[in-house]
Structure 1
Amino acid sequence: MKASAKNNETTDVESETLIRKLHLISRNSGVGFIATASSSLILVAAAIQSNHFTIWIIWWLALLLVSTIRLGMARRFFHDEAAHAVDATAWSSRYTILVVALGALWAMGILGFSFGASANERFLAALVAAAMSAAAISTLAPRIRLYRIYAAPMIISVALASFLSATQLFDWIFGVIALIYLYGVNSSATYLNDTLTKSIRLTNELQIASMVYQAIGDAVLITDTHGIVVACNAAFKKMSGYELNEIIAMNAQEFNSGRNDRSVHKQMWEALATSGHWQGEIYNRRKNGEEYLKWLTINTIHDDQGNPFRYVGLYSDVTDQKRAEEMAWKHANYDTLTSLPNRRLFRDRLEQEIKKERRDHSGIALLIVDLDKFNEVNDTLGHSYGDLLLLEATSRIMPCVRMADTVARTGGDEFSIILPDFPDAEHVVRVAETIVQKLREPFKLDGEGAYISASIGIAYFPTDAEDAGELIKNADRAMFSAKKAGGDRYEFFTNAMQETALLHRRLTNDLRVAVSEGQLRLVFQPIVRLQDGRIAKAEALLRWEHPELGTISPVEFIPLAEESGLIIEIGDWVFREAAMRAKQWSDKFRSNIQISINKSSVQFHSIAYANGWIDYLWEIGLPGECIVIEITESLILNSNPLIAAQLAIYRAAGIQISIDDFGTGYSSLSYLKKFDADFLKIDQSFVRDIENDPSDLALSEAIIVMAHKLGIQVIAEGVETERQSAILLEAGCDYGQGYLFSIPVPAADFEKLLEKQSAASGE
């Protein structure tokens, strides 16, 4: 396509050049007609005494006819612009035909007149041929081929007649001189043709350049070496607001706004002097006084001696572009609600402050402020009031810090504060105490009252961290410690927190190889029917036998697995291991043994994860009803369509759903019907005091009644005494789980319990 476009462009240029040449030929066609008519009439008059006068009259009339046709065609082409729409090559072909005819007629006439004639008559014919060929240079030279077609036959006829009639040496010399003359006029015509061709092409280029110069979207200003304007295009007039007569002869410096640094102009002139080129951003002023930013490119034009002659400036108004870039940068680096730096800009500033601290050892304190009870304001009053609270919180925090400090909004209800070069530790304490006090005061939000507090974590660089990432993590840990202690306070990062952080880091790293090295194992705690005390199912529980640290509680490593994403791999291993055990026991005891498996919220992030479990059940031939997926009450309270979709996939495969720790959340009853649960597990906190606390008993009874009305069976956790079991059975509870029946045991021991139960029943 590029080659085609280039060929088309070349064709257009050649066509335009040809049209201009045909214009020149047509413009001089009248002179050519007069010369042809008069010169041919001379030959006819000289041949009046000839015996062939009639033939000469016919020749003359034929010559006039062809000349007249040529004149008419030339006038039409010259005056009729519509004729230019026709292909220029077609016009050239027509001209060629007529010129061939004229050249042939002239050659026949001169040859006929000269052959057998006297020396004087041949000389007359030669003069006519010389005159016509010389005159044709001005009319036909623009098309050198036409000139040669026209002139060559005439001059060759003179030479040929001289050679054929030669009786003496002079005749031969005269013929040779005619040929030399032909060479001379041809050279003159060729030179004129070359000159005209170059001139026409230059004119075309200048016209195109002028069109581009005026039509280009960018403004163009041309000055002399003293900066005096000599030309500009329409775009510059529009950009500057001046008229052309005002711009010409102005000094280009008059357009400057005065806002530019002097060093910019110094660099500009130095670059122009050394390389002849400069580009950069410059502020200019319009005629109405408005400042605007432009991107200016200046190139130097040199004269034939290599000296600077003109400066050509190409201007692009980048005011709107710069404004858009600034808005985009602000949007990317500042919080749209509070106008504070966002996490991205906060991190950048923290990195810069750390670089500075490493030079001057001034110290940095990082405060992470989390708003306690903010979600309650959002949930009860709505997000618009939450936004008002964040704005008010921002206005309270800002006066607590210095101008050199950075306050950023780095989370929904989290602010991060960088205190560089702080004078002493007491200053940091005062800032934290003031913020806690200010945020403790009541908030008035568009007529509504709200009460929150703040949990602040503080960490120092380089005392508590070696880089920005570690500093943020440690300040976060201190903040979570303050929140865990009840909030409305601040805490400094401590060595104990550091030790905990290091332990967590080690455990996370070790957990990555725990599955492959066989450090994880499952234990099974029986779940019995309270009515007859028989084992009906079991809950699979995960244990980690660390090679150096011994048994590590799931309470410690499960949160680390969730935080690191390892819970996906571990959860998959747990499911496959539990399903395999359920298959073994179901085949051995010829009845389906149901195993409950816990699944965290992190494991619900992908539909493919659920489908993989279903595929595994098909692979080993285990019915779906042998598996129960246990989810927490908080998971269904904060569920989303992805969670609901996965639960539906499990239900469709026959897998049952159990809600763990029921009763510890709030507003959960409305979710039971929506999620179609099969089991509820009463939390052990209710079972523990069920013998002595009437309220725990009442709550347990209410849960059991409500669940049964919804077709849901109930499992009581943490059953440790016979009395608790009896009370729950009397209340209608279906299943019990706890140390009364069995502690969690390895797979082999659980299998022995099943064997014992089977033997006792004679199965």
Structure 2
Amino acid sequence: MSVSARDALRMAALYVVLSMLWLVVAGRVLDHLFDGSVAMAVGSHLSSLIWVLASAVLIFITRARLLSFIGLGTRRRKQDSERLRMAEAVFDTTLEGVLVTDRTGLIVHVNRAFMRITGYQQDEVLGQRPSKFKSGHHGPEFYRQIYTSLAQTGEWSGEIWNRRKRGEIYPQWQTIRAIRDDQGEVSHYVAVFSDISAIKHSEQELAYLAHHDPLTGLPNRLLFNDRVEQALGTAQSHKRGCALLLMDLDHFQSINDGLGHTLGDQLLKRVAERLSHWLGAGVTLARLGGDEFGVLLERCPHVGEAASLARDVIEHMKEPFSFEGHRLFISVSIGISLFPSDALTGEQLLRNADSALFKAKANGRADYALYTEELTAHAQHRVETAGELRRALEQNELRVYFQPVHDLTSGVMVGVESLVRWEHPERGLVPPGDFIPIAERTGLIGEIDLWVLRQACSQMMRWQAQGRSLAFVAVNISSRLFSQRGLYLEVAQVLAETGMNPALLEVEVTESAVMDDPEVSLEQLHRLRELGLRLAIDDFGTGYSSLLRLKRLPVQKLKIDQGFVAGLPDDDDDIAIVRVIIALARSMGMQVHAEGIEQAEQADFLLQQGCQLGQGYRFGRPMPADALKWG
């Protein structure tokens, strides 16, 4: 019998008992109050009426309470039903997989996400145990920890590897919770999990990128250093040698500046592919940054093997790279350091290879150089000089010297060339050859060039204020600064700050800087020419000029390199070259300016051939502004 039926029966019995009590009590009261039969009849009717009214009120109250209780129960059942529907909707639509087991561990329910993630359908897993999905990735101790946590805290969370229906093992982040009934006993277990394969893949990609170059896919400097240290450890234990080759692409910056970084990146990828394919297995190739590559030979018994490899790489890289309609030629310079003869640690091996690389570049590039003890001293000297040079710029230790430029016909000084000198507080006047190459390597040369330009223009304004007239002041611009597209803006700013007439400024650019990338150079020179200044090609004859390109350049002057002047007027080769340069310049309407004139015979010969201007020790050495002689 249900609870509601028992309650109804109790209510009926209570009503019968109350009715009988009412009849007994009412009869005795009427017998006591009334003696006549008529009065008794009236009293009896009155008693019945009162009981009927009382019963009606009691039934009304009971009915009202019953209806209220039924309504409340209906509303609660409706709310419970809505909550169940919402829970079921969440259960089925959540992106996390959900698995429910009974207290014995048999699966009683799974949601749609479970079926999507695992590949199993509901009828394939109901009544089964979760061990069906084990991957074999974890040992018994792992599962014992899960059971222990559930027993002690009722919950476990962590990473677990399971197997999909098609056999693939994949990682999950899973939370298992014990569900208890009203008596506190475990009735079910609910497992909620997410497929974290994508996260794991991202972690692997990040780990890969942390140790590999994203452009070429080669090991980066971090991984290369680690492999060098491991290789040295193995080599030391097996008493064998190793070699480290440091490679740098020659004039790669001109490709970036002229053709763009996108094409430069494509070239780096082609270089990496060619080297990887050619070097093959057993050799570690890495991109250390920019256009610098490292090669590690873990088994190199003698220096001849490393040198032979370097020569082969240099020859192999001379073959052109053809892609995207371009046919590019590039060379490499290589520095070699050996273990254990040159270094005993990876850091020292890299440092020594870098010193050798610097030597290879100084020797003319497209070459290799072996490390020697002498290079260590040179490397240390370069580092110290670079630091001191930065300090020299900050503390105004640099000086601008001026070398007179004379008209060969009249012998009058018509201009000066500005040359930088370094007045070291301890070493005295440092020769340009000792710090200019270091300034170029460290990138300080551009800052130095602009400083010289500003000083030269300011000095020219002071000379004009003193009434001393010169046709021009010449300033050399390095190839590094010339390759910067914003150079004309820098020059314009200096002219504006000093107030100098642009027509009095002559900018000299070396032939090699112009011919490295003629199209970019043409644009750069036109922008400079638009400022109203004069342009000159310095060291003409030492590069590989294209006459077709040369005639397109907005240049007013060619400067004959002093190397061709030194043999005049006796050396037949120098005579022939100088005559050709002068004839070429005159045919293009350019002025000719010869450097390095030390003897009167040289000046006379140049004048006879049609050279207009000259400079050199014959007319005066470079000197401070106040030491110039005004005729």
- Where on the TM-score scale, by shorter chain, does this alignment land: which range? 0.7 to 0.9
* C-alpha distance 487-735 of structure 1, shift in aligned 2 (>3 A): closer
1:543 to 421, 430, 445: 421
Aligned counterparts, 1:116-155, within 5 A: 121=49, 123-140=51-68
Query: Are 2:128 and 1:245 equivalent residues in the alignment?
Result: no
Query: C-alpha distance in 2, partners of 1:443/1:654?
Result: 43
Name the counterpart of 1:587: 465
**1:336-367 deviations in whole A, cap 9, x for unaligned?**
7875423453245457779x79x999999561
1:534 to 385, 409, 412: 412
Aligned counterparts, 1:565-644, within 5 A: 565-589=443-467, 591-604=469-482, 610-639=488-517
Name the counterpart of 1:394: 276
* C-alpha distance 630-279 of structure 1, shift in aligned 2 (>3 A): same
In the TM superposition, residue 494 of structure 1 has moved relative to its aligned partner by 2.9
In the TM superposition, residue 706 of structure 1 has moved relative to its aligned partner by 2.9
SS of the residue 1:282 aligns to: strand
More helix by share: 1
Query: C-alpha distance in 2, partners of 1:541/1:394?
Result: 46
Amino acid corresponding to residue 280 of structure 1 in structure 2? E
Query: C-alpha distance in 2, partners of 1:444/1:619?
Result: 47
Query: C-alpha distance in 1, partners of 2:377/2:221?
Result: 27
In the TM superposition, residue 374 of structure 1 has moved relative to its aligned partner by 11
Aligned counterparts, 1:481-492, within 5 A: 481-482=359-360, 492=370
Name the counterpart of 2:337: 458
**1:621-679 deviations in whole A, cap 9, x for unaligned?**
32111222222222222349886666445333322222211221214434434441222
1:653 to 509, 521, 531: 531
Name the counterpart of 1:75: none
In the TM superposition, residue 243 of structure 1 has moved relative to its aligned partner by 1.9
- Aligned residues of 2:174 and 2:191 also touching (Cα < 8 A): yes
Query: Are 2:303 and 1:432 equivalent residues in the alignment?
Result: no
Amino acid corresponding to residue 580 of structure 1 in structure 2? S
- Aligned residues of 2:241 and 2:301 also touching (Cα < 8 A): no
* C-alpha distance 578-438 of structure 1, shift in aligned 2 (>3 A): closer
For normalisation by structure 2, the TM-score amounts to 0.76
- Aligned residues of 1:385 and 1:445 also touching (Cα < 8 A): no
In the TM superposition, residue 738 of structure 1 has moved relative to its aligned partner by 1.2
- Aligned residues of 1:398 and 1:407 also touching (Cα < 8 A): no
Amino acid corresponding to residue 742 of structure 1 in structure 2? G
- Aligned residues of 2:453 and 2:494 also touching (Cα < 8 A): no
Unaligned 5+ segments in structure 2 are: 1-44, 257-262, 323-328
Amino acid corresponding to residue 394 of structure 1 in structure 2? S
SS of the residue 1:295 aligns to: strand
Query: C-alpha distance in 2, partners of 1:513/1:374?
Result: 28
Name the counterpart of 2:622: 744
Query: Are 2:164 and 1:280 equivalent residues in the alignment?
Result: no
* C-alpha distance 438-651 of structure 1, shift in aligned 2 (>3 A): closer
**1:684-712 deviations in whole A, cap 9, x for unaligned?**
12222242333433333333333334333
SS of the residue 1:299 aligns to: strand
Query: C-alpha distance in 2, partners of 1:267/1:352?
Result: 38
**1:586-641 deviations in whole A, cap 9, x for unaligned?**
22235354211122233357666653543343333321112222222222223498
Unaligned 5+ segments in structure 1 are: 1-116, 144-192, 758-763
Name the counterpart of 2:37: none
Query: C-alpha distance in 2, partners of 1:266/1:589?
Result: 99
Aligned counterparts, 1:450-529, within 5 A: 455-458=334-337, 460=339, 464=343, 468=347, 471-482=349-360, 492-529=370-407
Query: C-alpha distance in 1, partners of 2:478/2:141?
Result: 63
Name the counterpart of 2:294: 416
2:245 to 345, 365, 368: 368
In the TM superposition, residue 539 of structure 1 has moved relative to its aligned partner by 0.5
Query: C-alpha distance in 1, partners of 2:589/2:409?
Result: 18
* C-alpha distance 307-365 of structure 1, shift in aligned 2 (>3 A): farther
Query: C-alpha distance in 1, partners of 2:462/2:320?
Result: 65
- Aligned residues of 1:457 and 1:482 also touching (Cα < 8 A): no
- Aligned residues of 2:408 and 2:607 also touching (Cα < 8 A): yes
SS of the residue 2:503 aligns to: helix
- Aligned residues of 1:335 and 1:409 also touching (Cα < 8 A): yes
SS of the residue 2:420 aligns to: strand
* C-alpha distance 349-260 of structure 1, shift in aligned 2 (>3 A): farther
Query: Are 2:173 and 1:299 equivalent residues in the alignment?
Result: no
- Aligned residues of 2:556 and 2:590 also touching (Cα < 8 A): yes
Query: C-alpha distance in 1, partners of 2:435/2:321?
Result: 46
SS of the residue 2:466 aligns to: helix
**1:549-605 deviations in whole A, cap 9, x for unaligned?**
222122221232233343344333322221111011122235354211122233357
- Aligned residues of 2:171 and 2:195 also touching (Cα < 8 A): yes
For normalisation by structure 1, the TM-score amounts to 0.64
In the TM superposition, residue 527 of structure 1 has moved relative to its aligned partner by 1.1
* C-alpha distance 303-274 of structure 1, shift in aligned 2 (>3 A): same
- Aligned residues of 2:267 and 2:321 also touching (Cα < 8 A): no
* C-alpha distance 118-596 of structure 1, shift in aligned 2 (>3 A): farther
In the TM superposition, residue 432 of structure 1 has moved relative to its aligned partner by 1.8
Amino acid corresponding to residue 370 of structure 1 in structure 2? M
SS of the residue 1:558 aligns to: helix
**Worse-superposed segment, 129-138 or 493-502:** 129-138
In the TM superposition, residue 717 of structure 1 has moved relative to its aligned partner by 1.2
**1:290-336 deviations in whole A, cap 9, x for unaligned?**
x1423221222242566655443333334455446545654664457
Highest CA radius of gyration, 1 or 2? 1
In the TM superposition, residue 214 of structure 1 has moved relative to its aligned partner by 0.6
- Aligned residues of 1:432 and 1:456 also touching (Cα < 8 A): no
Measured on the aligned residues, the alpha-carbon RMSD in Å equals 4.4
**1:61-109 deviations in whole A, cap 9, x for unaligned?**
xxxxxxxxxxxxxxxxxxxxxxxxxxxxxxxxxxxxxxxxxxxxxxxxx
Query: C-alpha distance in 2, partners of 1:430/1:527?
Result: 51
SS of the residue 1:531 aligns to: coil
In percent, how many aligned pairs have the same letter? 31
* C-alpha distance 202-711 of structure 1, shift in aligned 2 (>3 A): farther
Query: C-alpha distance in 1, partners of 2:540/2:463?
Result: 29
SS of the residue 1:417 aligns to: strand
Structure with the bigger RCO (C-alpha within 8 Å, sep 6+) is 2
- Aligned residues of 2:342 and 2:371 also touching (Cα < 8 A): no
Count of residues in Structure 1 that have an aligned counterpart in Structure 2: 569
